[in-house]
């Protein structure tokens, strides 16, 4: 009887200790080749796996980049902000209440605003779920997104680490052509168990706006 009591007490202490130790939130970054462009995703997740925030950046091969940020309350989507990344670009805002019903919905354009339609709202909600599910799958597959700068042939990540990357011959040739054209260059790439994939090279500084765990 005493032995059983001791064992029960130890088990209770272990369970209490486990429940009181919470894992900190993490920031996951991944991406993929989308239809006619490149999608980059950053997702902040709580220690118990609940979404806190997410940001997607879709860069088409032809056209303007669209950045969309998502906020969550108790794991449920509460806010969507989408912006076309050009001067005076279109902005879309959708706010949801505790029941998931729209409480504010507006498309903001130069000179005027308009209310979102029911189809617009459904599309935004569908896109959020699709991107979140894809990001979860990519994280499970250990596919990670990195961004950085290249200067004098040296690639430095946004975290400040110099790295040597072995891209495929066509991708390496593409990168070298962009370097020869001059200008400040940033690049985004994926790291996966099967190797590296160069996603994007551009004459802008990705590191200026890349989300971090502290400010996301």
Among candidate residues 90, 111, 139, the one where a domain is terminated: 139
Ranges assigned E (strand) in 61-205 = 66-73, 76-84, 91-96, 102-109, 112-114, 144-151, 154-157, 162-163, 185-192, 195-202
Question: CA-to-CA distance for 200 and 57, rounded, in angstroms?
Answer: 12
pTM: 0.87
| DSSP letter, residue 24 | P
Q: How many domains does the chain have?
A: 2
164 and 60: one domain? Answer: no
Tens of pLDDT, residues 39-94: 999 999 998 989 999 999 999 999 999 999 999 999 999 999 999 998 888 999 99
Question: CA-to-CA distance for 19 and 157, rounded, in angstroms?
Answer: 36
Among candidate residues 139, 171, 205, the one where a domain is terminated: 139
Q: Is residue 17 a part of any domain in this protein?
A: no
Question: CA-to-CA distance for 191 and 213, rounded, in angstroms?
Answer: 19
Give the residue carrying structure tokens 């902000």. Answer: 81
Question: CA-to-CA distance for 9 and 116, rounded, in angstroms?
Answer: 58
Q: Is residue 2 a part of any domain in this protein?
A: no
Residue 179 structural domain: 142-216
Nearest-5° Cα angle at 11, 5 to 12 = 90
pLDDT averaged over 10-residue windows placed end to end, the chain, 216 residues = 47 50 91 94 94 97 95 96 90 95 93 93 97 96 97 93 95 93 92 95 94 90
């Amino acid at each position: 009887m005493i032995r059983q009591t001791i064992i029960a007490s130890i088990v209770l202490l272990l369970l209490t200790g486990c429940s009181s130790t919470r894992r900190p939130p993490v920031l996951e970054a991944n991406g993929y080749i989308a239809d006619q462009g490149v999608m980059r995703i950053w997702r902040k997740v709580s220690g118990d796996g609940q979404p806190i925030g997410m940001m997607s950046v879709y860069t088409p091969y032809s056209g303007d980049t669209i950045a969309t940020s998502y906020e969550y309350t108790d794991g449920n989507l509460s806010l969507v902000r989408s912006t076309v990344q050009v001067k005076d670009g279109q902005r879309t805002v959708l706010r949801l209440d505790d029941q998931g019903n729209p409480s504010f919905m507006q498309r903001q354009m130069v000179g005027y605003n308009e209310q979102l339609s029911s189809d617009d709202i459904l599309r935004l909600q569908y896109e959020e779920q699709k991107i979140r599910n894809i990001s979860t799958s990519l994280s499970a597959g250990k596919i990670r997104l990195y961004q950085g700068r290249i200067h004098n042939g040296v690639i430095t990540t946004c975290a400040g680490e110099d790295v040597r990357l072995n891209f495929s011959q066509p991708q390496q040739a593409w990168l070298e052509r962009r370097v020869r054209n001059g200008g400040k260059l940033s690049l985004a790439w994926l790291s996966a168990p099967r190797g590296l994939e160069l996603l994007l090279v551009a004459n802008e500084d990705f590191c200026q706006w890349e989300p971090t765990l502290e400010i996301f």
